[in-house]
Structure 1
Amino acid sequence: MSPDNEDRPKAESPGERALRLHPFYGGKIQQLPKVPIGGAADFSVWYSPGVAEPCRAIQRDPEQVWAHTNRGNTIAVVSDGSRVLGLGNIGPEAGLPVMEGKALLFKYLGGVDAVALCLRPRDDDEFVRAVRMLEPSFGAINLEDIAQPRCFRILDALRGSMDIPVWHDDQQGTAVVVLAGLLNALEVVGKRLDQVRIAMVGIGAANNASYRLLKAVGVDPGRIVACDTGGTLHRGRADIAARPVELAKKWGICLESNAEGVQGGIAEALRGADVCLAFSTPGPGTIAPEWVRGMARDAIVFACANPVPEIWPDAAREAGARVVATGRGDFPNQVNNSLCFPAIFRGVLDVRARTISDAMAIAAARELAAFARERGISETDIVPKMSEWAVYPRVAAATGMAAQGEGVARLSATRDALIDHATRVIGDARRATEALMREGIIAAPPK
């Protein structure tokens, strides 16, 4: 297969541009006032002595913190830098540019104020303690780029012990967009979610969460065959059974999936499958074209490894796949969690939710899929694009409504009210950025 095919990425270097622009701007996020300041006298209201009265009000009723501070619109993006993008364990300092980038997306796409926090914990317990101590200052926590199985233990521990939402975007955010894309891909090829056979290539953070969300939406786990570096998951995997605590989630998949007991590797997992969900070793070559040829007619292939998908999209299509998605923006059908996490956090903050449940994640996925269907879908266009701004308020509202339905929201609001509020807050963030650029406060990039 020639690397010069039309849908291969063209020669360009965003990395070189990033190296030039990051030091020019000194990072990507700053703090600015949100209150009017006409002169020094205003400081007596916003700071001492006037600030003492809001402090006393919160002391009398801690719930007043949401009214008197920005806690209700502030989240923490927390990482230890142990599994960053396609870079691996690069440490907290090297991971900070990614967390700042995440904070930028939260603000511009969701109107959410996000603080990038990179930690150097000695162990899982110290990581959990550190995040728990942040709770009084934040409305939600976004965990990011944490290696497995640590990421599973940390998420479970924090979700079970904090009264604000804790979300691991590499797991849950990816799973939301996978579900949305899969719903629409199945619509395109005329198949039903409850009847297809699904192969999962790689069973790390993203596919673990996708597996759980697929079960929650009604997929029979027996129709799923998962595959890791040791082969397909099944009841006979003694290597996983020997580590039941460390690999508890993977062993659970061994016990309830793969009803036919398929053994072997990726080729065997894909044989006869309608859907391939791959979050595995970057390719090309991780998935061979002949294995795709062995899939069912009108196959769907999500090859989502970064920076290079497990199989090039053109190779997958030539091998018989009808719908192909990747994690990259330079190919059609980008399965990118940026489509959901700013809106989901907007939604949970707007109803002051205590958690993000699977039902809320499914509601967000269905809204993403519905938005794309309403404006039209095709084999090369199954999910919204990040530039379709109108999708974010809708997903925020869907999340907020689901939180109310689950009984985990502190506030109540109608769908229309949530859409209107999210539209205004997200629009304000974009207009503020445009104003700062127009006034030269955000300088134009050097040529």
Structure 2
Amino acid sequence: MSFALIATRDVLRLASTRSPLTAHGFVSDILPPIVCYFATAVLVLIPQTRWIRLALWPITLFLAFRAALSTDFSMNDPRQAFWNIDLALSMFCIATRTLEWTLPKQPIRRRHMNGKNPKITSRSSHVLSNALDLMINLRGHDWDWSDGLYVPPETRPTNSRTRFVLATVVSGIVHALTCGALHTAVQTFSPSGIGSLNGGTIFDLSLSPPVRYFRSSIIATMTAFAVYNVLQCGYELTTIAGIILLQQEHDQWPRAFDAPWTSTSLREFWGKRWHQWFRRTFVFLGARPFSYFGGRVGGIMGAFLASAVFHHLALLVLDENAELWRMIVPFSMMGFGMILERVYMVVSGRKVGGWAGWVWTMFWLVLWGNFMVDAWAEAGMLGCSTILDSAAPVRGVVVHIITSFDHFLHQYAS
């Protein structure tokens, strides 16, 4: 894979190393693909613009790859390397979303809710504001572009803009502090080095297999909840910015998650309760083409294979030698698990659900989540650090608890 990256850099005539972000670099490298992104969002709302979009997309692709490979958002601080992951994945989404918007012959349309019956308007007089919404609306809710999307019911107060924003602020603070505490807990586990930038495995070979996998499952579960909390925090920050700075409505920022830990099937977890931000990307790149020759089963596996590639790109930012199979295996098994659920439904006539469905779902997620998190840990991703870690008011307590627990495992349960 490192050879592929070197070849890509050579083709695009990019430097072998990233340059720290500067004002000039932002204008020359980061801003151009964003402008193309916005231009495509505008064009896809206007009839008879397909040929313009077809001409613009190769330029967008080139600019997105150049931005992803040439700019260092970490400012030479290895612990801030997660900013480069965000940059690379953002540019990947720009390239794939604009490609999907390039292909349709007809404009995509925004769905406006009117009571129980949605009315679809072919073109709005507010093209620019609609294009902006389309850009930052990752899930594509309220657009026919993302039909079939599940949007969680709102639980925040919606009768007042001020109350909605305050509830979002409080939620953001709680998720930020929780993320910091969980990340600190994960980094405290030793002696595998999972909290260092050099990386290390979550599987401690000095422990007996039952204890080893019990310990790694705790680490994987904590990591999953840390990811959940940091994504929630980031989404709530952008929600506040959208409502206050862009004067958007609260229904343009629906909840991202729907209590994923209560899922009673893998289908419910991945299709509803986990965030759906990249749903369209995985459908477009994986589910749709694979379903042509594999039917429903092919579509399921294709979506998870696309997700595996997406998450593999994040590893490549930290380790150019990261192996693709480290993401292919766990994500493919998620798809296989959903196929097993469908087989069960066909054979028994009942959907997976209830307490038994919850046990099955959590078991499967944790089982393959171990391998997913281990790949992240090996690449040094868990060693990245943010202000959320040091801001956690219970940091000392967390470190003491985890250190004592890990010492107990090594001393008495090995």
TM-score by length of structure 1 reads: 0.23
Q: Which has the higher contact order (CA 8 A, sep 6+)?
A: 2
Between structures 1 and 2, the one with greater strand share: 1
Name the TM-score, length of structure 2 as normaliser. 0.24
